[in-house]
Structure 1
């Protein structure tokens, strides 16, 4: 099992990932605004199922790679640092998109299609797989037990964080859209807050000599 102090740091990283605008967030907001909370929730279940798909594949892959090629850790660590810095930069770009101005004229779809669209929106999102592959190894240590089990633990933790945050987004999408449109200054605060979390985690990762 992963120590609780390390797990808290990982939860912060997962939080930084989920509040960074991307395909999942844009789709869930658009669907919730255009078709209602129920449609947004069904779409969210599809998105969460997509996470599970990534987790299983990455867990098997990391188990093989980290146990056979130890130097891979350094490579993945370096990639992870630059990726987090990239996300921080994307968060504060002047041209950064207001996701609460997302498309709100989507067609009305039935539950199976909503679920499948949420699933494939996540499965085909390279940001998720890249986060898992580059970030999981920073928290996996052989002395804490099975690499596969630790990877699954991290994945389920990330899924839980993503579900709770995205559920709040689905339930409040319409109100948030109105509020942010009336108070655009808070979008800048949101972006800088995200960037600070991501940059701090990148620094912590870069200085970690374990």
Structure 2
């Protein structure tokens, strides 16, 4: 159906890939542990939106540019790395409030920023674009006339699986750390650890090769 081949293999491989810890997982964990459930949820939704955009880019053929052009790959890579390092430094220098509240209902603007950060972090990771170009075509029947439709269906299934995992991850991570985050001194240390983690992820992305 829809020109999909070896669908069962796609599901198994997709789930295993999603469960493998990576930049997205660490970002969601960092937000969830240091800032709470809603922040973790917004970061998960931001990551998922970024994956959706990569899927659209791949269908439109824009991701091929990253695969073909070394310059385009390097530009996007360093933009993503710079953004992650910026987030890390910001987390390190921001002073923790002594009256910290979990899931502050007045933090709509803050949650919007977290969502946008998740989108940008994922979109500016060229490795995700290359993943879509390398992984999904293996399950597209080359004889099927509407290959773009097949690619879209597989991409959306992968997105759905990934979104479910990211949301569950954010909930569990925030739940486990509620008592720690309630103490502002622990929160200060969590902010520093999160900042260092983001900087490390940025450096790792900067050193990445095709």
Residues 34-68 of structure 1: per-residue CA shift (max 9 Å, x gap):
xxxxxxxxxx6x99677655533331124421214
> Structure 2 length normalisation: TM-score?
0.57
Residue 38 of structure 2 is aligned with which of 15, 28, 34? Answer: 28
SS of alignment partner, residue 146 of structure 1: helix
Does the 8 Å CA contact 2:99/2:184 hold for their aligned counterparts? Answer: no
TM-score, normalization: structure 1? 0.57
Q: Where do 1:1-210 residues align within 5 Å? A: 7=17, 11-21=21-31, 28=38, 54-63=50-59, 64-68=61-65, 70-71=68-69, 72-96=72-96, 101-102=101-102, 125-135=115-125, 137-139=126-128, 140-141=130-131, 142-146=133-137, 155=159, 158-168=162-172, 171=175, 175-176=178-179, 179-181=180-182, 183-210=183-210
Secondary structure of the residue that 2:78 maps to in structure 1? helix
User: Helix, strand or coil: the match of 1:11?
Assistant: coil
1:170-210 CA distances to partner (integer Å, 9 max, x unpaired)?
6568x53xx534x4332233123222322222222222232
**SS of 2:21 mapped into structure 1:** helix
Which 5+ residue runs of structure 2 have no aligned equivalent?
1-9, 139-150
1-side partners of 2:191 and 2:199: how far apart?
12
Q: In the aligned structure 2, how far is the partner of 1:187 from the partner of 1:124?
A: 17
Q: Residues 96 and 184 of structure 2 are in contact (CA less than 8 Å); yes or no, is this contact kept in structure 1? A: no
TM-align CA RMSD: 4.4
- Stretches of structure 1 lacking an aligned partner (at least 5 in a row): 30-43, 107-116
Contact preservation (8 Å) 1:77, 1:206: yes
For the Cα contact (< 8 Å) 1:76–1:134, is it kept in 2?
yes
The count of corresponding residues between Structure 1 and Structure 2 is: 173
